[in-house]
C-alpha cells in the first residue's frame, strides 16, 4: 500500500507537514514512516500519534528456566516531526520523528549526534512493536478461527445426533414412510375406491415388510447417507465461499 492508498486522515497529517517545508506529502510519508509500517493506515496512525498497543511476546520465567508467550500492553508516545538543526528547514535531510515531550523539552537546541542515534534506536524498537501489534485485522482472523472451531464442534454434535437418527430411521421411520409412499403410488393408479384401498394397502404392507429385512435396511441406510453427504458437501462449499470473501 502506498501513500496514495492511505486514509484521508493519514494523508492530512503528511499534507500538514508538507506545508511546513519545501517537500511533498509523499516525500514526508516515505521519509518519516518506517517502511515496515507503510502498508497499514492503522500502523501509520499509531506511529505518528501514539496509543496503546498489545503484542504477544516471550516472557522469561522469574527465578527459573523457561518462560511463556504472553500479551504485553504498552503506551506509545505521540510523536513530533523534529528538526535536527533547530532553525533549519523541514526536509528529508533535517527531520526525524521522536517523542513529542523530548522534542519540546529541547526547545530551540539542535539534536546532538548522540541524541540522534538514541532516537533512531528507540524508533526501530517501537516500529517493530507496532508491526507486531494485535490489530483489528488480527482480531478478525482470531474470530474466524473461533468460528471454524465452533463449526467443527457443531458438526461433531450434529454427527452424533444424525447417527442416532439414522439408526431410528432405518429401523422404524423409513420403512413406514417408504410403505406409505408405495401405497399412495399404487392407489393413485387405481380407478375405484375399492381398488385404491385394496391394492394400496397391499403395496404399503409389502413395502414395509421388505424394508424391514436386512437388505431393505441396507438400502435405506445407503440412501440416507447419500442425502447426508449432499448436505455436507453443500455446507463445505458455503464455508469455502465465505472464506474466499
Residue 204 is predicted with a pLDDT of: 64
Give the list of residues 6+ apart from residue 169 with CB closer than 8 angstroms, or none.
220, 224
Tell me the C-alpha distance between 113 and 107, whole Å: 17
Closest CA to 94 of 12, 22, 14: 22
Q: Is 116 exposed, middle or buried (0-12, 13-18, 19+ CB in 10 A)?
A: middle
Q: Determine the 3-state secondary structure of 213 from DSSP.
A: coil
- Beta strands (DSSP E) in the chain are 51-60, 67-76, 79-83, 95-99
pTM: 0.55
Tell me the C-alpha distance between 26 and 2, whole Å: 9
Contacts 24+ apart (CB under 8 A), 159-164: 162/228
First to last CA, the chain: 20
Strand pairing report for 79-83 and 51-60: unpaired
For the four alpha carbons of 150, 156, 157 and 158, in that order, the dihedral sign comes to positive
Tell me the C-alpha distance between 78 and 117, whole Å: 19
pLDDT tens for the 245 residues of the chain, in order: 689 999 999 999 999 999 999 999 999 999 999 999 999 999 999 999 999 999 988 888 887 788 888 999 999 999 999 999 999 999 999 999 999 999 999 999 999 999 999 999 999 999 999 999 985 444 444 445 444 544 444 445 444 544 554 454 455 555 655 555 555 665 566 667 666 566 656 656 666 666 667 766 666 556 555 554 554 544 444 445 445 54
Tell me the C-alpha distance between 62 and 40, whole Å: 36
Tell me the C-alpha distance between 99 and 50, whole Å: 9
Number of residues that this document lists for the chain: 245
Tell me the C-alpha distance between 118 and 115, whole Å: 5
Amino acid at each position: 500500500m502506498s501513500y496514495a492508498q492511505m486514509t484521508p486522515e493519514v494523508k492530512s497529517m503528511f499534507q500538514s507537514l508538507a506545508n511546513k517545508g519545501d517537500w511533498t506529502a509523499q516525500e514526508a510519508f516515505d521519509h518519516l514512516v518506517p517502511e515496515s509500517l507503510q502498508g497499514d493506515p492503522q500502523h501509520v496512525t499509531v506511529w505518528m500519534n501514539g496509543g496503546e498497543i498489545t503484542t504477544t511476546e516471550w516472557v522469561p520465567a522469574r527465578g527459573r528456566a523457561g518462560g511463556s508467550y504472553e500479551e504485553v500492553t504498552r503506551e506509545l508516545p505521540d510523536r513530533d516531526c523534529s528538526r535536527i538543526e533547530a532553525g533549519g528547514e523541514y526536509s528529508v535531510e533535517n527531520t526525524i520523528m521522536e517523542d513529542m515531550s523530548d522534542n519540546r523539552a529541547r526547545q530551540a537546541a539542535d539534536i546532538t549526534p548522540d541524541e540522534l542515534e538514541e532516537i533512531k534506536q528507540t524508533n526501530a524498537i517501537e516500529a517493530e512493536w507496532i508491526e507486531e501489534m494485535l490489530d483489528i485485522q488480527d482480531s478478525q482472523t482470531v474470530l474466524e478461527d473461533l468460528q471454524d472451531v465452533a463449526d467443527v464442534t457443531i458438526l461433531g454434535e450434529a454427527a452424533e445426533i444424525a447417527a442416532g437418527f439414522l439408526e431410528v430411521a432405518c429401523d422404524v421411520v423409513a420403512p413406514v414412510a417408504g410403505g406409505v409412499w408405495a401405497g399412495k403410488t399404487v392407489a393413485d393408479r387405481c380407478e375405484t375406491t375399492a381398488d385404491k384401498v385394496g391394492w394400496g394397502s397391499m403395496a404399503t404392507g409389502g413395502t414395509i415388510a421388505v424394508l424391514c429385512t436386512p437388505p431393505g435396511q441396507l438400502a435405506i441406510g445407503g440412501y440416507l447417507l447419500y442425502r447426508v453427504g449432499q448436505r455436507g458437501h453443500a455446507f463445505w462449499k458455503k464455508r469455502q465461499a465465505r472464506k474466499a470473501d
